[in-house]
């Protein structure tokens, strides 16, 4: 058991990056959306929850307790999605908790990126994790807006939770990369401003990240 935990700790950022990518983009390989909601998403969240554990080894008790509470909720909530997927209160709570969970992880990633004065595989993986987490956070924040105000976005597929989630992953991805095809658009002043802020944060993260990586390269030789 100790060897497994040690392995997870050593490769925690790689595991988290894999978990985030599969959570966001596994829909590429899914054609049966009901099965995605009933089977794939709960499994995804278990993988993501386990991958996040490595970030909190040797952290304070309070932080681990908060992590554990959020982890239990994000793992259990998708299990009831087939039953309560059309319940607005349930979907609001789910998206709120998921947003908090991903913000919590993003904060830990950000603190790590600012700490070391070297560049290695962990820094590169953590940088990519931060980018994926920005997409995750805003996907669930936008879903909060959508479930609270169904007219928040135009061009959104709201036939089922899986379609809505995948549309928001797509929308957030093309927004943060400044592509912006325009097939899905914010429709209220709230979502327009949130989208604008998200785009600014995404660009700011990229610029700051490039600066951090360059400074780490120039300050010390690369370490493995």
CA distances from 91 to 30, 147, 158, 174 (A): 22, 7, 13, 24
Q: Judge whether residue 39 has pLDDT over 90.
A: no
Helices (H), the chain: 2-10, 12-25, 33-35, 41-53, 61-76, 81-84, 88-114, 121-148, 161-176, 189-219
Mean pLDDT, to the nearest integer, of 38-46? 83
- The pTM score is 0.87
CA distances from 71 to 2, 35, 61, 67, 156 (A): 21, 23, 15, 6, 29
pLDDT: which is higher, 1 or 125: 125
Pairwise CA distance, residues 216 & 208, whole Å: 12
* Predicted local confidence at residue 98, as pLDDT: 87
Tokens standing for residue 65: 């307790």
Mention every residue, 6+ apart, whose C-beta is less than 8 A from residue 51.
12, 15, 16, 18, 19, 20
* Predicted local confidence at residue 134, as pLDDT: 95
* Predicted local confidence at residue 57, as pLDDT: 63
* Predicted local confidence at residue 60, as pLDDT: 65
Work out the pLDDT band at 220, boundaries 50, 70, 90: low
Pairwise CA distance, residues 224 & 122, whole Å: 9
Q: Judge whether residue 186 has pLDDT over 90.
A: yes
* Predicted local confidence at residue 77, as pLDDT: 79
Cα torsion 26, 27, 29, 33 to 10°: value is: 130
Question: φ and ψ at 125, to 5 degrees?
Answer: -65, -40
Q: With pLDDT > 90 as the criterion, what percentage of the chain qualifies? A: 33
Pairwise CA distance, residues 203 & 217, whole Å: 21
Q: Judge whether residue 21 has pLDDT over 90.
A: yes
Q: What is the pLDDT of residues 81-122, one digit of tens each?
A: 777 777 888 888 888 988 988 998 999 899 888 886 778 888
Work out the pLDDT band at 46, boundaries 50, 70, 90: confident
* Predicted local confidence at residue 132, as pLDDT: 95
**Type and span of the H or E element at 186:** strand 185-186
- Mean predicted lDDT score pLDDT of the chain: 84
Q: What is the pLDDT of residues 137-162, one digit of tens each?
A: 999 999 999 888 888 999 999 888 88
Residue 219: CB atoms within 10 Å: 11
- In order, the DSSP letters of 87-138 are -HHHHHHHHHHHHHHHHHHHHHHHHHHHS-SS--HHHHHHHHHHHHHHHHHH
Work out the pLDDT band at 221, boundaries 50, 70, 90: low
């Amino acid at each position: 058991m100790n060897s497994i935990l040690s392995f997870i700790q050593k490769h925690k950022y790689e595991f988290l990056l894999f978990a985030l990518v599969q959570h966001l983009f596994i829909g590429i390989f899914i054609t049966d959306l009901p099965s995605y909601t009933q089977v794939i998403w709960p499994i995804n969240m278990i993988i993501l929850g386990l991958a996040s554990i490595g970030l909190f080894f040797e952290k304070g008790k309070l932080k681990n307790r908060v992590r554990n509470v959020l982890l239990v909720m994000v793992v259990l909530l998708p299990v009831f999605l087939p039953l309560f997927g059309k319940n607005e209160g349930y979907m609001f709570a789910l998206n709120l908790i998921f947003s908090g969970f991903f913000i919590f992880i993003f904060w830990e990633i950000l603190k790590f990126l600012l700490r070391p004065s070297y560049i290695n595989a962990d820094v590169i993986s953590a940088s990519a994790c931060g980018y994926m987490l920005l997409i995750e956070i805003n996907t669930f924040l936008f879903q909060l807006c959508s479930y609270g105000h169904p007219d928040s976005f135009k061009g959104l597929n709201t036939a089922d939770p899986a379609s809505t989630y995948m549309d928001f992953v797509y929308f957030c991805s093309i927004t943060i990369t400044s592509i912006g095809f325009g097939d899905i658009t914010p429709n209220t002043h709230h979502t327009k401003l949130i989208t604008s802020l998200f785009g600014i944060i995404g660009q700011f993260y990229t610029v700051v990240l490039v600066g951090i990586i360059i400074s780490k390269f120039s300050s010390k030789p690369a370490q493995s």
